[in-house]
Structures are given as structure tokens and as C-alpha cells.
Amino acid sequence: MFIDTHIDTLWAMKKQNREFYESSDEGHIDLSRAQEANLLAGFFTGYPSNSTYTTEKMMADWVKMVNQPKNMMYQIKSFKDLENLEMQRNGNRMNEMEIGVILSLEGSSGIDTGLNRLYIYYQMGLRSIGLTWNEENQFATGQAQGEHRGLTGEGFDLLSAVEDLGIIIDVSHLNDKSFWDVLNNTNSPVIASHSNVRYLADHRRNLTREMIEAIHSSGGSIGINLCTHFLNDDAEKASMNDAIRMFGEIIKIADIKSVHLGADLDGAPLPRDMKDISSIPELFNNLKLDLNLSNNELNLIKKDNVKRIIKKIWN
């Protein structure tokens, strides 16, 4: 079983006109493929939340998706929920396995500066949040907007409220200045839900060595992104081996407790030798062999690192 901290399926299902419970050759994940790959839980974001409209639309689609019985989705709002699901999954037949789903926001533009929507979304199950997608908004600055600006005063208020509520802070889409504003002003572990190593693939969405060390020092973790553009400077040549190299590099810089999977399923092109979520078990098998990992070490990457953060922040 494994946990993935970034899945864009809500957006993909609308674009491809499909339902999660329907087996499909489109996209990267549906119920049967998730069960076969043994996905324990995923952080589902679905839309870049870069406006009030897109955020509200995402929340409406989220409510419909998790309340559709055929989807067999088990919404996770607490560490106890995650523990209960993991116990239920042990020994279940594949076609009886529920998939754990965690509500996250890829950007906070849809939240008002009075933070009223933040508290409503928390009651709906919001448990992970990025302050921006790629845009500049009322709280912070995304990676596509340069380095002229970091967090605003309202952004520091949002950061404080998120920390008080017990929502995981996601730094993946922030520009460098906003990243450091977050890391220098929080006492909680942070995650980069779907980011890689910048000096191995020179993209501003990836992390510098200093950023990786800072996330490690916070007690957080980095989700390796399978997007081809973040794995290799020549995206067309990106492969599973590039992803394994990213895992290994973060282990060298930090340690094995600071890395997990944030595959960006249904949100980005995958390497040429990876089809969809069905390729994830092979990735983990090769990761174990290539990095000479024990079963316990592999389980840290697959789920236990994220579980540790969930337990600390949500409790």
C-alpha cells in the first residue's frame, strides 16, 4: 500500500468525461486501477485553485465525487480515519477495497482574506493546502511570477490560521521568496507535495539543495513528481530511472524519512516507460532494488513518512 500526495483526477475526469468508478484507458487513475496498484490514499486536488470560481467548482465536484457510492471512496479527515482504512484494507479482496481520499487545495486564490472560506473548507475535509498555484494572489507568489514578491500580510495570516487548524502546508508551487517566507515562519512540518531536485532537472518548480534541507529540518517530506519536465531537462527522454534518481538524491541530501511519492497523476505527462498508476508498483520494486532498501525503508517512502506528518499535524 502507498500514499500519493498529489492526484489531479477531479480535473481530468471533467476534461475526459469519465467517472472514477468506470474502468477506462484514459487518464492515469480510476477505481479499478487504483485498487490493482494498491493505493491506500491520495491527496486529491483536482483543479488549480487560482480563482474563487475554480475553487468553488472544485469543491462542488469533490462533494459529488466522494458521495457517489460506486466510487468506493473513504474520505480521510483524521489520522484515526487513515488507521481505520489501513486496517480494513488488510485482507480485503481487490474489488472490495475502498480508496482513501484526502482533500487538498493547489492554491488559495479562492479563499477570502477574512479566511471565512478556509474554515468552511476545513469542515468539508480540507487537510492540505498550497498558498498558490502558479499565479500571484492575495496571499503569496507562485513560481511562474518571478522573485519580486513573497508572502503578503494576508499570507502570513493565512499561514498562521492553517497551522492553528492543523492543515498540512504544501510549498510545491511557491516561488523561492514565498518558499522561504513559509519555512522561516512556521513551526510545523511542511511538504512539497509534487516536486523534484532542481540541479538534476533545471526547472523552477523543482527544489534547490537548501530547500530540501529546510524541508527535512522542518520534519517534512518531498513527494517525487513523475512529470517528465521535472525529471529530465529533455522531457522526451524522461524515464522511471530518472524518478529513482530523484528519490536517491533526496535521501543523500536529507534522509530516507524526507521523501515519498507525489506523482502528479492525471495532471502531467508521465515518463515513456510508465503508463499510469499501474506502473507505480514496478517503480517501488525497482526503487528497492536499485537503492538496496529494506522492506521497512521502502515502507517509509511508500506511506510511513506521510503518515508521520499526518499524525503530527492533524492531531
Condensed to tens digits (0 to 9), the pLDDT of residues 8-28 reads 999 999 999 999 999 999 999
Please state, rounded to an integer, the average pLDDT across all residues of the chain.
Answer: 97
Average pLDDT over residues 150-176: 98
- Residue 170 confidence (pLDDT): 98
Read off the pLDDT of residues 120-157 as tens digits, 9 standing for 90 and up.
999 999 999 999 999 999 999 999 998 899 999 999 99
Q: Is the pLDDT of residue 67 over 90?
A: yes
Using alpha carbons, select from 205, 224, 225 the residue that is nearest to residue 268: 225
Using alpha carbons, select from 84, 17, 73, 87 the residue that is nearest to residue 42: 73
Contacts of residue 63, Cβ cutoff 8 Å, sequence gap at least 6: 124
- Residue 1 confidence (pLDDT): 96
Read off the pLDDT of residues 289-302 as tens digits, 9 standing for 90 and up.
999 999 999 999 99
Ordered domains of the chain (ranges, CATH) = 2-314 (3.20.20.140)
273: confidence class by pLDDT, cuts 50, 70, 90: very high
What angle is formed at CA 109 by the lines to CA 104 and CA 112, rounded to 5 degrees?
100
98: confidence class by pLDDT, cuts 50, 70, 90: very high
CA distance 233 to 245: 14
315: confidence class by pLDDT, cuts 50, 70, 90: confident
Query: Which set of grid coordinates corresponds to residue 153?
Result: 500580510
**Residue showing cell 488507521:** 83
Q: Is the pLDDT of residue 95 over 80?
A: no
CA distance 178 to 151: 5
The rounded Cα 169 to chain-centroid distance in angstroms is 11
Q: How many CB atoms lie within 10 A of CB 86?
A: 16
Average pLDDT over residues 218-222: 98
Give percent of the chain with pLDDT exceeding 70. 100
Q: Is the pLDDT of residue 93 over 90?
A: no
pTM of the model: 0.97
- Residue 94 confidence (pLDDT): 77
Using alpha carbons, select from 314, 293, 238, 278 the residue that is nearest to residue 2: 278
Average pLDDT over residues 85-101: 89
Q: Is the pLDDT of residue 92 over 90?
A: no
Q: Is the pLDDT of residue 228 over 90?
A: yes
- Residue 52 confidence (pLDDT): 95
